[in-house]
Amino acid sequence: MPHLSSDHGTSATHHTERTDGIEKNMPDSPPNILFIMSDDHAAHAMSCYGSRINTTPHLDRIADGGMRFDNCFCTNSICGPSRATILTGTYNHVNGVTTLATRLDNRQLNFAKLLQDAGYQTAVSGKWHLGQGPEHWPTGFDHYSILQGQGPYFDPEMVCDGRKVQHSGYTTDIITDQSLDWLARRDPERPFCLLYHHKAPHRPWEPDDRNARMYDDVDIPEPETFNDDYSHRSAAAAAARMRVESDLNEQDLKEPVPPGLSPEQEKSWKYQRYIKDYLRVIASVDDNVGRVLDYLDAEGLTEDTIVMYTSDQGFFLGDHGWYDKRFMYEESLRMPFIIRYPREIQPGSACTDMILNVDFAPTFLDYAGVAIPASFQGSSLRPLLRGSTPATWQSSMYYRYWMHGATHNVFAHYGVRTHRYKLIYFYNDGLGQAGTIDERYAPEWELFDLENDPCELHSVYADPAYAEVVRELKAELHRLQEKVGDERYTADVD
Ligand code: CA
């Protein structure tokens, strides 16, 4: 192995001993990193997370061979902003990608640049969604081939190392083919970091022929909160326009609603149309991830490669009567996060510690033996992955959705979640951010006791029994804002 240059002052060797026998024969070279991310894949549509509605056998191979995190949260539940946080290791008020109408300035530091400096071969294939045009294209990558914007399910035009290239076929397959092709062409003497990022299962959920008839003969169960009436909460939940019953369009449904259905029957019909296509496009992701895992096995790379799978945020799968994401509510806030590295992670393990998307970049750098810059705002997950959570590990997290009133009319909010509670402040103001509406509404608070009300159906903010909890959580919210350097809303006063 050639010496890996590093300007960041840390050793690239991994010889640390463990007593539980997991870490063995550690290589002199840092591990390869295969970072798989899909778009809008909720954890409750993965069998390793106990899905009631589908199976994901190939994704489960990653969980079975490594660790599943049961409390991974995003800091802003929407595509570009979450991706910017993952790449730069910073919150959106720092990296500037607060909404879908903001773009990443690619001169910013990111983990790929640091890995590249340390001798890694770096590439990104598939979804990018951090802006179009040279000033937003990937930096820190030896090679990239990315979709433009959301990208289509079929026949995508992609940007490959600065050139537009027209492809024909199914996008999920194409992204995989390109990833495998790059892996085959790489220098086997140097470690790689590949971002293998799917467009699926983002709207409008268009399956390929292989999976188009899947679930034809079954009814997918409706979620427990499918008929939520949005009472006992702030005005925001009822105002959101992402209801299965009324907001899915013709492109989403792909066929006309049959005549003669009652409103309840129509809502159920729409749910089946939506969820079956959502699960079909996930089946293609699962199949294709299986191809890449098979490649690692066949090439003898499995032991030396960190494989992680996540999605940029969660998604409502008919939960609360919704599709889409954005809210700080559980189904949207949660990210799937499974990670395998046989040399250091106990197979079949699970972790309930709280982790965030801002923690991913420091984790990659830690494994690569690269110093984590002080400007990165998260923490490496490596101690957790080795089974020893630091006593000071985070037990609360800060969330902020900036994109007030846009597409689905979800109001701007921020909040704090602990293991037991969630406090949300709907400040209901676009603050002039790109991609927001001008109307402002009176702020409102919500508090959920997740132990007594895991589905978040009844805010107890005004319940006197929770007055002390409210006081403590507001102090924690403001402490976290200060810690990450964000500003609180002017009307949010102690
Ligand atoms: Ca997304």
- Output the domain CATH number for residue 80: 3.40.720.10
Are both 377 and 438 inside the same structural domain?
no
Number of structural domains, the chain? Answer: 2
Beta strands in 276-407 (DSSP E): 305-311, 337-340, 349-351, 355-356, 396-401
What's the 324 CA to ligand 1 centre distance in angstroms? 9
Are both 99 and 145 inside the same structural domain?
yes
Residue 83 inside a domain? The answer is yes
What's the 357 CA to ligand 1 centre distance in angstroms? 13
What's the 341 CA to ligand 1 centre distance in angstroms? 26
> Half-sphere exposure (CA, 13 Å, Cβ side) for 12?
20
**Helices 79-88, 360-368: crossing angle, 10 deg rounding:** 30
Are both 77 and 183 inside the same structural domain?
yes
pTM for this entry: 0.94
Residue 14: the pLDDT is 42
Kindly tell me the sign of the dihedral angle through the C-alpha atoms of 237, 240, 242, 246.
Answer: positive
What's the 204 CA to ligand 1 centre distance in angstroms? 12
What's the 316 CA to ligand 1 centre distance in angstroms? 12
What's the 199 CA to ligand 1 centre distance in angstroms? 9
- Distance linking the first and last C-alpha atoms of the chain: 58
Show which of 361, 384, 407 is a domain's final residue: 384
Residue 181, both tokens: 């092709």
Q: Tens place of pLDDT for every residue, the chain, 494 residues?
A: 333 333 333 333 444 444 454 554 556 689 999 999 999 999 999 999 999 999 999 999 999 999 999 999 999 999 999 999 999 999 999 999 999 999 999 999 999 999 999 999 999 999 999 998 899 999 999 999 999 999 999 999 999 999 999 999 999 999 999 999 999 999 999 999 999 999 999 999 999 999 999 999 999 999 999 999 999 999 999 999 999 999 999 999 999 999 999 999 999 999 999 999 999 999 999 999 999 999 999 999 999 999 999 999 999 999 999 999 999 999 999 999 999 999 999 999 999 999 999 999 999 999 999 999 999 999 999 999 999 999 999 999 999 999 999 999 999 999 999 999 999 999 999 999 999 999 999 999 999 999 999 999 999 999 999 999 999 999 999 999 999 999 999 999 87
Residue 2: the pLDDT is 35
What's the 77 CA to ligand 1 centre distance in angstroms? 8
User: Residue 348 carries which DSSP code?
Assistant: T
Are both 421 and 353 inside the same structural domain?
no
Show which of 384, 418, 433 is a domain's final residue: 384
Residue 227 inside a domain? The answer is no
Residue 25: the pLDDT is 52
Are both 331 and 375 inside the same structural domain?
yes
Are both 357 and 421 inside the same structural domain?
no
Residue 391 inside a domain? The answer is no
Residue 4: the pLDDT is 39
What's the 469 CA to ligand 1 centre distance in angstroms? 32
Are both 332 and 438 inside the same structural domain?
no
Spell out which residues have Cβ within 5 A of ligand 1, the ion. 39-40, 79, 312
Alpha helix positions (H), 186-311: 235-239, 250-253, 263-298
Residue 13: the pLDDT is 40
What's the 280 CA to ligand 1 centre distance in angstroms? 17
Residue 379 inside a domain? The answer is yes
What's the 53 CA to ligand 1 centre distance in angstroms? 20
Are both 369 and 411 inside the same structural domain?
no
What's the 323 CA to ligand 1 centre distance in angstroms? 12
What's the 74 CA to ligand 1 centre distance in angstroms? 11
Domain that holds residue 451: 397-484
What's the 256 CA to ligand 1 centre distance in angstroms? 27
Q: Strand, coil or helix: what is 366?
A: helix
Residue 254 inside a domain? The answer is no
Residue 43 inside a domain? The answer is yes
Residue 42: the pLDDT is 98
User: Residue 411 carries which DSSP code?
Assistant: P
Are both 195 and 165 inside the same structural domain?
yes
Are both 128 and 177 inside the same structural domain?
yes
Residue 9: the pLDDT is 35
Show which of 352, 384, 416 is a domain's final residue: 384
What's the 202 CA to ligand 1 centre distance in angstroms? 7
Residue 332: alpha-carbon gap to chain centroid: 10
What's the 98 CA to ligand 1 centre distance in angstroms? 14
User: Residue 89 carries which DSSP code?
Assistant: S
Are both 343 and 414 inside the same structural domain?
no
**Helices 57-64, 263-298: crossing angle, 10 deg rounding:** 60
Task: Report the alpha-carbon distance of residue 485 to residue 383 in Å, rounded.
Answer: 26
What's the 252 CA to ligand 1 centre distance in angstroms? 16
What's the 238 CA to ligand 1 centre distance in angstroms? 22
Residue 17 inside a domain? The answer is no
Residue 311 inside a domain? The answer is yes
What's the 80 CA to ligand 1 centre distance in angstroms? 7
What's the 276 CA to ligand 1 centre distance in angstroms? 18
What's the 197 CA to ligand 1 centre distance in angstroms? 11
Q: What CATH number is attached to the domain comprising 460?
A: 3.30.1120.10
Q: Strand, coil or helix: what is 11?
A: coil
Are both 430 and 348 inside the same structural domain?
no
What's the 314 CA to ligand 1 centre distance in angstroms? 8
Q: How many C-beta atoms surround the C-beta of residue 30 within 10 A?
A: 29
